[in-house]
Amino acid sequence: MSGSNLDKIVLISGATGRQGGAVIRHMLPKGWKLRALMRGATSSAPAEFAREGIEPVQLKADIPELRRRYPEVHLQTLEEWLRNEGWHKRARHVRPPKG
C-alpha cells in the first residue's frame, strides 16, 4: 500500500454486518484508518470498534448527506465502485446457470 493511503480514512457502511465486518477485518491489519458506519447504538459494537482504533459513526443519512458531513472521506456506493471497476462491462458476459 502506498504511503498516501495511510492518510485516507475509509468509511465502512454496514460495519456490524457480514460484508462490512469482512472489509474491516481485511483493512484494519493493513493500517488503514477506518470509520464504522452503523444504524443504531443499541449494541456493544461502538465500544468494540473504539477499542480497535476504529471511529464508530452512528447516523441515518443518505449518500449525499454523508458526502456533505465527511468531505475528507472518499465515499462510493457499491454500485459506483462496480461501475468504476468495469464490472458492468464484465457482467454482460456472465450467464446465469441453467437448471
Give the domains, in start order, of the chain with CATH numbers.
3-91 (3.40.50.720)
Q: pLDDT value at position 19?
A: 86
Mean pLDDT across 48-75: 81
Q: pLDDT value at position 51?
A: 94
Other CB atoms closer than 10 Å to residue 87's CB: what's the count?
A: 14
Cell 443519512 locates to 61
Bigger pLDDT: 94 vs 64: 64
Model confidence over 2-44: pLDDT tens digits? 555 667 888 888 888 888 888 999 999 988 999 998 876 567 8
> pLDDT band at residue 61, thresholds of 50, 70 and 90?
low
